[in-house]
Amino acid sequence: MNKKVVVQELGVKDYKETWDFQEELFQETLQIKSSNRKENKNVPTQNHFLYVEHPHVYTLGKSGDFSNLLISEEELAAKNATFYKVNRGGDITYHGPGQIVGYPILDLDNFFTDIHKYLRFLEEMVIRTLAEYGLKAERSKGETGVWLDVGTPFARKICAMGVRASRWVTMHGFALNVNADLGYFDHMIPCGIKGKAVTSLNVELGKAEVNIPEVKEKLLKHFAELFEADLHTDVE
Each residue's pLDDT tens digit, 33-59: 999 999 999 999 999 999 999 999 999
Please list the helix, strand and coil fractions of the chain in percent, rounded to the nearest 5, in that order: 35, 30, 35
138 by Cβ neighbours in 10 Å (0-12 / 13-18 / 19+) ranks as: middle
CA 148 to chain centre: 18
**Whole-prediction pTM:** 0.93
The C-alpha atoms of residue 157 and residue 161 are separated, in whole angstroms, by 11
Contact 94, 121 (CB under 8 A): no
114-123 pLDDT, tens digit each:
999 999 999 9
Q: What is the pLDDT of residue 236?
A: 45
Q: Are 157 and 201 contacting, i.e. CB atoms less than 8 angstroms apart?
A: no
Coil vs helix vs strand at 202: helix
Q: How many CB atoms lie within 10 A of CB 72?
A: 10
- Write down all domains in the chain, each with its CATH number in brackets: 4-232 (3.30.930.10)
> Of these residues, 126, 130, 165, 191, which one is catalytic?
191
Q: What's the DSSP call for residue 54?
A: P
Return the number of other C-beta atoms located less than 10 Å from residue 88's C-beta.
21
Please state, in angstroms and rounded to a whole number, the distance separating the CA atoms of residues 104 and 110. 13
Rounded Cα gap, residues 203 and 197, in angstroms? 13
Q: Which residue has the higher pLDDT, 72 or 223?
A: 223
Helix (H) or strand (E) holding 9: strand 4-12
What values do phi and psi take at 219, rounded to 5?
Answer: -60, -45
159 assigned to active site: no
Confidence of residue 63 (pLDDT cuts 50, 70, 90): confident
> Taking a C-beta distance cutoff of 8 angstroms, is the pair 222, 131 a contact?
no
